[in-house]
A and B are shown apart, each in its own frame.
Chain A
Amino acid sequence: MADTTFWDGSDHYLCDKELAQAFHIARTLGMPLLIEGEPGTGKTELPLQYAASQQTEMFVYPAGSKSNVEQFVAKFDHVKYLRDSQIEILNAQRNEKGLDTKLSSGGRDTENLSDYVVMGPATKAFSQPNSVLLIDEIDKAPREFPNDLLYALSHRKFILPESGKVIETTEKDMPTIVITSNREQELPTAFKGRCIYHYIQFPDAEKMRLIVSKHHPKVSNKIVESCLDIFYQLRRIGLERAPTTRELLNWLRYVKTFSTQEALSKINALDGLGTLIKTQADLERVQRQFGNASEQSFGTLN
């Protein structure tokens, strides 16, 4: 990799010190960085912000239950290939019958198998020096998926289907690879062994203040403080799905549309709770525990 200078966030993104160091280690060693952590702690943001601030090209592969290596690496377009070979026959027949016009195969040549290989994000990133490749939420992919990547990760090499072309990159030019996971399923040990591992710790109030100020620089301190206060209270009472950074930022986006005084009363009344609490059971629980406050405030508001 050409660029191995230390990168620790940009104007819009506060990169945790340890994460920045792990990211640096990964880039220096030319290994993928595997980031795990609670949802909404900014795992996906890291490569996005890095690519944006370095102005390099970025390739994203969002993993899902149907992910397979074919989509990730490259696919051979059998349908197009068949169509084109049929067209050749048709053209020959038309020629025989004395028809001049030819059906077009769009510049593709059936002799050249590479014309029919559709490149996936991985091969695109590998043929573009110093790009960024993000494999998002790899834990959602079937178990075979990470296992199938092992060879490519340790040899920096993909073999394209049918055409047999090899896409290879050197350690120097290799893309910065970031893989994120929510730990919905354990990844194979062999896979983890090939990655630099980092677990994002949930930010404490001090760090959260910095994160908030990067996203909502204009919100008054009072609002931020009372939001954080309630936010960490909610996290402490042991909800099924505790609110995360993402939810807090969304909540702030909502309350900041009001004037400071109004916003404060909205916060205390837990207005916009839907942005923070995502399950019915949690909602009931919060209402039981914080119930009195909200009733009072509702009384004065209405």
Chain B
Amino acid sequence: MFTKLPEAFKKFDLSVDVRALLLLQKAMDRGLVKTIGDLYNVLRTFIIKDPEHIGPYTKAFYSYFLDINIRPNERLNDAILRSQTFEQWKEVNFGRIEEDITPEEWVNRFLDQVHLTHYDIKEVLDGKELWDKDKGDLADEQEQNQEETPNRPLDRMADYSDLSLEELMQRMEEVMKQQQSQHSGGSHWVGTGGISPYGHGGAAKDGIRVGGSGGGKMARKVLGDSNYFPVDLDAVLNDNNIDAALASLKGIVEETAQEILDVKETIEKGLERGGLFIPEIKNETFDKLQVLLVIDNGGYSMHPYIKAVQTLFRKMKTRFAHDLETYYFHNTVYRQVFSDSQRRKVLPIERLLSKDPNYHVFFIGDAAMAPYELDRTSLNTYADIKDHFKKVAWLNPEPIKFWNGTLSTQIIKELLPMYPLTPKGIEEAVLEMNRKK
């Protein structure tokens, strides 16, 4: 089951492996998944490995399980309101009752139901028990309530704790089948006999009000907040090539704090002590690798390569956590670079040039610009950088065969050693840098 899930989530740049699916199975066995809200929560802890994944995950979840597809630049509210799932949910749960509710309120109700977890249900049930104990004459009231509730579906609450795993699986399979025949109006989990706590299938416990449970709030927040979709972080890394290339950097790298036995010292001290050998420990040190990354993140010409650059950047960040500095520029470097990707915080080139000359400097950019942009100031800047830092390389995401087609690329190539932004290119650049030690 859920065999199509990895594929569907891949479209949102989320990797779901077999382990996650097995874990989901296990979580179901242990009774962690009883509502669709639970499913959202449980799957989230398996799939999300980074705060930036939350937005894409929520999108993927809505698309896969609820058939609500959020178009680019569309808000969740609108996506829900135009979806068939929502229509059906409204139909099944509220029928023809004309209620004076604003679209926002509908969306809120919908979200609260989708994100209802069994923890919420339990909370409500516990609360009710306490209440029961307090009031002796409750029995009558309860009956009254029950008579009223059929007309007020929102007050109804399903408790799926009795549902066996097989039943749950069966329902999910049905849902999957429905999903395959999407165009025949196949609706998903909410509204029909799926996992909806309000559907007609469940053993509903009457007379308990949900009253704005917390889960839905999160989705509203996530999908309303542009911070969850930062442009330059959408990429998910699985490009093992780059890993391999960066491994070649590792040979010369990394200061570690491994302790090793100092054999020479142990023997000498042991002899001094008249044959009492006590192991002497020393810290194992390697050369430090300091990396400066200067990235061209502006201009349309760089757009097609943003993904490749991000991949490299993230990998680098993983590997050189402590000694990696990143700066940005637009098209070409004049007397300044920027320390933030929005290019607002200026760093004068002199400051850059005051850094340790042992830094490895990587420029990443297509080096394509109008000839007048590459003026004397810019050329001098490159010359200064090359003078100061011995290890400089320019990584160009454009295929080599196009390099000679652009004048500015040709000029820069003469100034700085240029390599293609491929694992092989990086490896060559690094080998060349190492030679300059």
A residues at B contact (CB < 8 Å): 4, 6, 17-18, 20-22, 24-26, 28-29, 31, 36, 65-68, 78-79, 82, 86, 139, 142-144, 184-186, 188-189, 192-193, 196-199
Q: Chain B contacts of A197 at CB under 8 A?
A: 45-46, 48-49
Contact status A21-B117, CB under 8 Å:
yes
Contact A142:B23 (CB < 8 A) given known A79-B279, A186-B321, A197-B45: no
A66 touches B279 (CB 8 A): no
Shortest distance from the beta carbon of A70 to any chain B beta carbon, whole Å? 8
Please report the C-alpha to C-alpha distance between residue A17 and residue B321 in the assembled complex, in whole angstroms: 32
For the complex, count residues of B whose C-beta is within 8 A of A.
Answer: 38
**A185–B321 touching, CB < 8 Å:** yes
| Residue from the list A142, A186, A196 in contact with B317, Cβ < 8 A | A186
CA distance A207 to B257 in the complex (A): 41
Which of A6, A29, A68 sits near B119, CB closer than 8 Å? Answer: A6
Q: Which chain A residues lie closer than 8 Å to B314 at the CB level?
A: 186
A26–B54 Cα distance when bound, in Å, is 19
Which B residues lie within 8 Å of A78 (CB)? 278-279
Chain A residues in 8 Å Cβ range of B209: none
Q: Identify the B interface with A (CB < 8 A).
A: 17, 19-20, 23, 26-27, 30, 32, 41-42, 45-46, 48-51, 54, 117, 119, 122, 214, 218, 237, 254, 256-259, 276-279, 314, 317-319, 321-322
Q: How far is the CA of A17 from the CA of B122 in the complex (A)?
A: 13
- With A25-B42, A28-B32 known as contacts, the answer to whether A66 contacts B257 (CB < 8 A) is yes
Residues from chain A with a CB closer than 8 A to the CB of B42 are 25
Given that A18-B41, A198-B45 are contacting pairs, would A142 and B256 also be in contact in the complex, using a CB cutoff of 8 Å? Answer: yes
Chain B: minimal CB distance from A34 (Å) = 9
Count of A-B contacts judged by CB separation below 8 Å:
84
Interchain CB contact under 8 A, A199 and B51: yes
Q: Is the CB of A17 within 8 A of B54?
A: no
Please determine whether A142 and B257 come into contact, CB atoms closer than 8 angstroms.
Answer: yes
Enumerate chain B residues within 8 angstroms of A144, measured Cβ to Cβ.
256, 258
Contact of B321 with A143 in the complex, beta carbons under 8 Å: yes
Cross-chain contact A25 with B27 (CB below 8 angstroms):
yes
Rounded to whole angstroms, the CA-CA distance of A188 and B257 in the bound complex is 19
In the bound complex, residues from chain B placing their C-beta under 8 Å from that of A185 are 317-318, 321-322
Instruction: Write the chain A residue with the least CB distance to B15.
Output: A189
Q: A189 with B122: in contact, given A28-B27, A28-B32, A79-B279 (CB under 8 Å)? A: no
Please judge, given known A-B contacts A22-B41, A25-B32, A184-B321, whether A196 and B46 are in contact too, CB under 8 Å. Answer: yes
Q: How many Å lie between the Cα of A197 and that of B52 in the bound state?
A: 13
Identify B23's interface contact among A4, A29, A67, A82, CB under 8 A: A29
Bound-complex Cα distance A226 to B258 (A): 50
CA of A68 to CA of B283 in the docked complex: distance in angstroms? 12
B218 contacts A29, C-beta separation under 8 Å: no
